[in-house]
Amino acid sequence: MKKILLAVMSLVLACGIGFAAVGCNSENEKGGSDASGAIIVVSREDGSGTRSAFIELTGIETDEEGDRTIESAMFTNSTNMVLTTVAGAADAIGYVSMGSLNSSVKALKVDGVEATTENVLAGTYKLSRPFNIAYAKNAAADPIRDDFIKFIYSDEGQQIVTDQKYIALPEGDAQRTGAYTAPAGLSGTITVGGSSSVSPLMEKLIEAYEAKNSGVTIDLQTSDSTAGMTNAANGSYDIGMASRALKESESTSLNGMAIAQDGIAVIVNKNNSLSEITMTMICNIYIGQVTTWEQVRGDAE
């Protein structure tokens, strides 16, 4: 298991900091904020699909330098840990699945656009990614696995996606399977595992499916996207979950498919009066070019 770093950033009082060529060409944010001093940067662990999508979309990851997230960030191993950390730290910033948002934190507008389902669908909110499931290409046919996947894509399954504040596949999509009818006599157990961002949605899908198929048990194991794909490929999971697109190396051994779309919300403590941030400012915070809330507000001395 990769080491999870939970050390709070040391206070950095940077005067007249310049944005070097490796920065993200950010402009300062305006507006008040109750946060002050050093920014506590909260990120996810290696293998997280949310982290993979976030660093790609914001420019934190580059082809030349890879993932530039600062080493002093607090690396947490679940969506709930990010929420808990940001909710408990006045000077923290983090990111989570949009469908996991709750009232304990505040989601910032990004480039002036709110993190809403409508804005993701319209393409105006740029921090979005797919939720994928996958199973091994060489796996034998499995009536429970195949029927559960059929249920996920059914009208009822996709309504659960919507009810859980994620974005369902549009009606008419080739993957949608219409009304679901449970087969008679289906029984047995399968294992589904992977992304902690997909896990809350999957839990609801499993609950509804088992209610219709009393002889079936689906074991849900939560880890991260990379573990989900690795274990699906080697047969440890019947179905793996990833909160990102499959990598080319994974697609060679896996049948992958999107079950929903989700936004990534940039979050701060709910007592922080900052209401919006630019994509480039997010990048500069996460690569360490901006280190204090005074710089974010544009009033650093």
Mean pLDDT of 210-233: 97
Per residue in 180-209, pLDDT (tens digit) is 999 999 999 999 999 999 999 999 999 999
Mean pLDDT of 139-156: 98
User: Per DSSP, what are the bridge partners of residue 264?
Assistant: 97
Give the pTM.
Answer: 0.78
Mean pLDDT of 93-118: 95
CB burial of 43-81 (b: ≥16 within 10 Å; e: otherwise) equals: bbbbbbbbbbbbbebbbbbeeeeeebbeebbbbbbbbbb
What is the pLDDT confidence band of residue 224, given thresholds at 50, 70 and 90? Answer: very high
User: Per DSSP, what are the bridge partners of residue 136?
Assistant: 254
Instruction: Check if CATH label 3.40.190.10 holds for domain 40-128+264-297.
Output: yes
What are the tokens at 21? 């060529």
For the chain, the domains span 40-128+264-297, 130-261
pLDDT tops 50 at residue 30: no
Q: DSSP states of 201-215 as a string?
A: HHHHHHHHHHHH-TT
Same fold, 40-128+264-297 and 130-261: yes
Tell me the CATH number of domain 130-261, given options 1.10.760, 3.40.190, 1.10.357, 3.40.630. Answer: 3.40.190
pLDDT at position 254 is 98
**Residues 269 and 87: beta-carbon distance below 8 Å:** yes
Q: What integer best gives the mean pLDDT of the chain?
A: 89
Rounded distance, CA 251 to CA 132, Å?
12
What are the tokens at 212? 């219709």
Strand (E) or helix (H) holding 76 = strand 74-76
Mean pLDDT of 38-66: 95
Tokens 């209610």 identify what position?
211
